[in-house]
Amino acid sequence: MLITGISEFDRKRSKIFIDEEFAFVLYKGELKLYGIKEQEEISEAAYNEIVGGVLVKRARLRAANLLAKREYTEHQIRCKLKEGGYPLICIDTAIEFMKEYHYLDDERYAISYLASRVERKSRKQLSMELMNRGIDKTLIDTLFGEAECSRETEAKAVRSLLKKKKFCGLDASYEEKQKMSAYLYRKGFSTDIIQNEVNSCQFDGEGS
């Protein structure tokens, strides 16, 4: 295996290329430790020690530090580790370790996310936000079913937004109702629920 390139990753670390392909990121002091120089060979033993030892442990620690601060999805942790220049094998190993000890749990993340937002956002909006975070659509649909995200729950979310906007359907003009309805539709709420809540809500945001 030939070291074909070394370039700066940041002030302390360098990107290493082996046989013209990106391999991993190391601290500059580690280049000296492992004798890594451009156009010189790296032994299989040194490569395995770096990837299977140093970087696997470092990837686990990085993932643990991230999850100690707040919840992340598996997709988000993968992206963070990829940004850090970790090889795929190190990322997979770190992910499996975090999942095994329940530091990383997409279902737990999704349940918490929905619980804190279900009365403020539409099902469509929440589904898109979770999918953008890498949560599987099948899991999202299952959780919505278990949470019994009913029409009344969606209506409460609409009323919450109307209250925030200080919108009174009983006093609003036709144009004002149309504008508010369009806003709610873009949020992903059902047309019939929008129509009912926009027409009936009072200034305090509660239905009549």
Parse the chain into domains and list their residue ranges. Answer: 3-103, 105-149, 155-208
- Place 206 in a pLDDT band, splitting at 50, 70 and 90: very low
Residue 203: what pLDDT? 53
DSSP label at 3? E
Residue-wise pLDDT tens digits, 125-177: 899 999 999 999 999 988 887 655 556 777 777 888 888 888 887 778 878 88
Residue 149: what pLDDT? 53
- State how far the Cα of 8 lies from the Cα of 191, in Å rounded to an integer: 54
In whole angstroms, how far apart are CA 199 and each of 15, 162, 203? Answer: 60, 11, 12
* Secondary structure tally for the chain: helices H, strands E: 11, 3
Residue-wise pLDDT tens digits, 66-124: 999 999 999 999 999 999 999 999 999 999 999 998 899 999 999 889 888 877 788 88
Residue 98: what pLDDT? 95
- State how far the Cα of 192 lies from the Cα of 43, in Å rounded to an integer: 68
Do the Cβ atoms of 169 and 198 come closer than 8 Å?
yes
Residues 6+ apart with CB under 8 A from 82: 91
Count other C-beta atoms under 10 Å from residue 82's C-beta.
Answer: 12
Architecture of domain 3-103: Orthogonal Bundle (1.10)
- The two beta strands, 13-18 and 3-8, are antiparallel
